[in-house]
Structures are given as structure tokens and as C-alpha cells.
Amino acid sequence: MANTAKVSCTATNMKIETAHNSDAPAILALQRLAYQSEAALYPGHQIPALSQSLEELLEEMGQMIFLKALIEGELVGSVRAKLEGPDWQIGRLIVSPKFQGQGIGTALLTTIEMAAPEQATHHVLFTGHLSHRNLELYERRGYQRFDQKTVTLGLDLVFLKKEVK
Ligand SMILES: CC(C)(COP(=O)(O)OP(=O)(O)OC[C@H]1O[C@@H](n2cnc3c(N)ncnc32)[C@H](O)[C@@H]1OP(=O)(O)O)[C@@H](O)C(=O)NCCC(=O)NCCS
């Protein structure tokens, strides 16, 4: 994917490309690092992104489109998506903690939205109910809450969607 989204990103020389199986170990390592902040919000809860194995990630890569954000060859972010019925299900938006707050997450989100196939009518994603910064990021990008499900005591998942334009 050569068409990096035209969004303001202050990180210099950042590019977004399609990720492949060979990127799986680096994506998994980044996922485990990035999701530490989520784990801190939900103490005592098992966070699936932190327990995913390399084999499981490789299996997901066969079913989803994966994007990677690179700065001078270093993996600094990733996101994945797949079509489920009319929904373009977007998941695991991650940016390396040392590169957060520079627009990379927003650029990844915009680029994966642009990759939605024609049949998709909605972009759909979810996050935890205490993940206020994630919720703000998604709502600022036009997503609206449509469902909330309790996973266990102290952890709800908030589902958000927006129409594919
Ligand atoms: C969510 C995440 C991908 C955002 O990436 P990013 O590159 O920092 O995002 P951007 O710079 O484009 O936008 C920053 C906005 O993202 C949101 N945000 C969420 N978590 C953030 C964090 N730890 N640091 C900075 N911004 C964060 C805020 O709304 C922020 O806006 P603000 O600067 O006005 O507060 C990144 O923080 C991350 O990897 N978090 C851990 C994993 C995670 O929770 N992923 C989402 C799962 S649903």
C-alpha cells in the first residue's frame, strides 16, 4: 500500500505499508509493548493482545489486512482489519510508546479505513470502557458508540462505528 493517508503527522519520514508474515515477530513485540498502557487500566484482567502467540498472529495475518508504520526502517506502528458481513472490522491499532502523540495512530487509522473493500458499509472497532484517550481518538475521527458489553467485572468493551464514505 503506497498511498499513505494525507493526514497531519509530525513524525518525519513515516511511511505506511502493507505488512507481511515476515513482520509478525516485530508486530507482536510492538503489540506487547504498546498494550502495557491498556493493561495498567484494567488490573487483574487478561488482555488478549498481550497473550496472543506468534502462531495466532500468523493465522490472523492470513485472514486480515495488516498495515505497518515505519520510520527509517523501524516498525513504529500497526493496525489490522477484515471484512465481516458489511462491517470493516478494525483492530489492534498500536504505536510504539516513544512515537505516540505525533499523529501516527491517526494516519494508520485513516489508511486502514481507505483500504475497506467496496462491500463495506461501516468501519467498526472497539476498546475498553476506561480507555478514554482511545475513545476520544475514535470519536474525534467520527466514530459513534453503538454497543457496550461487559466482559468481566471491571471490564466492558465499547463498540463504535462510522459509515464508510
Ligand atoms: C491509541 C494509539 C494507537 C494512538 O496512537 P498515537 O500515534 O499516539 O495517536 P495520534 O498521535 O494519532 O493521536 C493521539 C491521540 O490518540 C489518543 N491516545 C490514546 N492513547 C494515547 C497515548 N498513550 N499517547 C498519546 N495519545 C493517545 C488521544 O486521543 C490522543 O489525542 P490527544 O493527543 O489530543 O490526547 C496509541 O496510543 C497506542 O498504541 N496505545 C496502546 C494500544 C491501544 O490502546 N490501542 C488501541 C486499542 S483499541
pLDDT by 10s per residue, the chain, length 165: 544 555 667 777 999 999 999 999 999 999 999 999 999 999 989 999 999 999 999 999 999 999 999 999 999 999 999 999 999 999 999 999 999 999 999 999 999 999 999 999 999 999 999 999 999 999 999 999 999 999 988 899 999 999 998
The residue whose CA is least distant from atom 48 of ligand 1 is 127
Q: Which residues contact 9 (CB under 8 A, 6 or more apart)?
A: 102, 103, 104, 106, 107
Measured in Å, residue 105 CA sits from the centre of ligand 1 at 6
Cβ-based neighbours of 140, under 8 Å, separated by 6 or more: none
Q: Quote the CA–CA distance of 117 and 41 in Å, as a whole number.
A: 34
Residue to mutate, 10, 134, 135, ligand 1, most ligand atoms under 8 Å from C-beta: 134
CA distance 138 to 133: 9
Pairing of strands 122-128, 65-71: unpaired
| Closest-CA residue to 92 (of 63, 126, 120) | 126
Whole-model pTM: value is: 0.92
Under CATH, which architecture does the 14-163 domain have? 3-Layer(aba) Sandwich (3.40)
